Amino acid sequence: MASNVSVEYANASKKLDSVRTPEERLAVLLEMKSYAPTHKGAENLRSDLNRKIAELRSEIERNKSSGAKRGSSSASSAMYIKKEGVGQVVLVGLPNSGKSWLLNKLIGKDVTPVTPYPFATKEPAPAMLNYNGGLIQLVELPALIEGSSEGKAQGKEILGAVRNADAILVCASSVSDKDLVVGELAKSGIFLNKLRPPIVVKSSSFQGIQISGKDFLSFPVEQLEQFLKNSGYPNSQVIISGKISSIDEVVEALDQRICYKKAILVNPFLVTDHILLDLKDKIFLLLDMILVFTKKPGEDADKKEPLSLRVGSTVEDLAHELHKDFSKNLKYAKVWGSTKFPGQMVGPEYVLKNNDVVELSI
């Protein structure tokens, strides 16, 4: 390493020893390039960085191409479970972590065998949880192990199924087990209970870098601009909507392989009947959905088959869900539940809440 590099460059270079995937290595090299000295004596250093970055980008593209081909293989297909119901929640954990036992308790019947030996679950075990009439798809996945993120024990296929799910139940009986599972997920780009850093970078047809929200930066804007130039965004539009403390957060926001999932940590061996009821509520809340019941004038509400809608959905969204023509002809609705008084008349823009009963007037 050149002796006259900055402290920031030296700190960034130290990260290379701890990263595993090509994408992580590329992010670190781009960060190093943003801090690399620009004087003539550092030409070899910059050239070496550019070469490594180009090689990694080529490797990542090759991996994407081969990954698409592998996606059609029987092993990958075997791990894929088509989503059904309100949403899909997967149960993940180490061998003998209690996943099968917990799935059976949640569903109320034996969906998958509980065994004293590890790796009994060799393929996904799906089941439907009836939650107040809405059906939530629970899927027990085969066990993760240390090295799953590198492909051990069908790790890539299992983690692909996790990536496809709407939310996650992490089954672990100790802190060390939990850390191992969460660590394997993070290494594969699956972050739990975290939001993407509040910065969006888009390539622009205009010259230069336009930044909105500079006041949210905790470091000089010139540092961000230099990083973006070195990362292939010399002409870009940047929108910052919240606090950005470091370049690391910018690197994370640009990493498209990262996905963010809501998750619950549970120790199946400590679950009682009371905890089980509470857990079902928490599982439903993970999905950011509401259940809405409909009724016809003069009739009782259909409490057996509610409609599931995204949190924040309106009466108009409900009408469109029932039939696309309903929303066009919708005049008003009567709502029982979240309104000030039962059967209150509301407009199409009214935001519905969980367990509302709605009578549409077309």
CB neighbour list of residue 145: distance below 8 Å, 6 or more residues apart: 94, 95, 152, 153, 155, 184
Please compute the mean of the pLDDT values over residues 213-229 and round it to a whole number: 92
What is the structure's pLDDT at 116?
61
Least confident of 117-121, 186-190, 239-243, 284-288: 117-121
pLDDT computed for residue 74 by the predictor: 44
Backbone conformation region of residue 108, classed left if phi is above 0, alpha if psi is from -120 to 50, else beta: left
Beta bridge partners of 344: 335
Q: What is the pLDDT of residue 67?
A: 54
User: Is 72 a residue whose pLDDT tops 50?
Assistant: no
346 φ, ψ (degrees, to nearest 5): -135, 165
Please report where in the chains the tokens 């007037």 appear, as a residue.
361
Q: Is the dihedral of CA 299, 300, 303, 304 positive or negative?
A: negative
Strands 125-131 and 134-140: antiparallel
Checking if the pLDDT of 46 tops 80, the result is no
Strand-pair partners of 190: 259
pLDDT value of position 71: 45
Q: What is the pLDDT of residues 230-247, one digit of tens each?
A: 888 889 999 999 999 999
Q: Would you list the domain boundaries of the chain? A: 1-70, 81-195+259-285, 198-245, 289-361
pLDDT, residue 75, reads 46
Q: pLDDT digit string (tens) for 112-142?
A: 766 665 565 678 999 999 999 999 999 999 9
Q: Which amino acid is at 307?
A: L
Q: String of b and e for 298-307 (b: at least 16 CB within 10 Å)?
A: eeebeeeebb
User: Which overall architecture, per CATH, does domain 81-195+259-285 show?
Assistant: 3-Layer(aba) Sandwich (3.40)
> With 0-12 CB in 10 A as exposed, 13-18 as middle and 19+ as buried, what is 238?
buried
Q: Is the pLDDT of residue 69 over 70?
A: no
Lowest mean pLDDT: which of 10-19, 91-100, 312-321? 10-19
Q: State the burial class of residue 320 (Cβ atoms within 10 Å of its Cβ: 0-12, 13-18, 19+).
A: middle
What are the DSSP E strand ranges found in the chain?
88-93, 125-131, 134-140, 167-171, 190-192, 199-203, 209-212, 236-240, 259-266, 289-294, 307-310, 332-336, 344-346, 357-361
Domain 1-70 has CATH 1.10.3470: no
Q: Which CATH number does 289-361 carry?
A: 3.10.20.30
State mean pLDDT over 279-306. Answer: 91
Residues for the chain: how many in total? 362
The predicted model scores a pTM of 0.76
Higher-scoring residue by pLDDT: 297, 170: 170
The whole-number pLDDT of residue 57 equals 76
CB 326 within 8 A of CB 319: yes
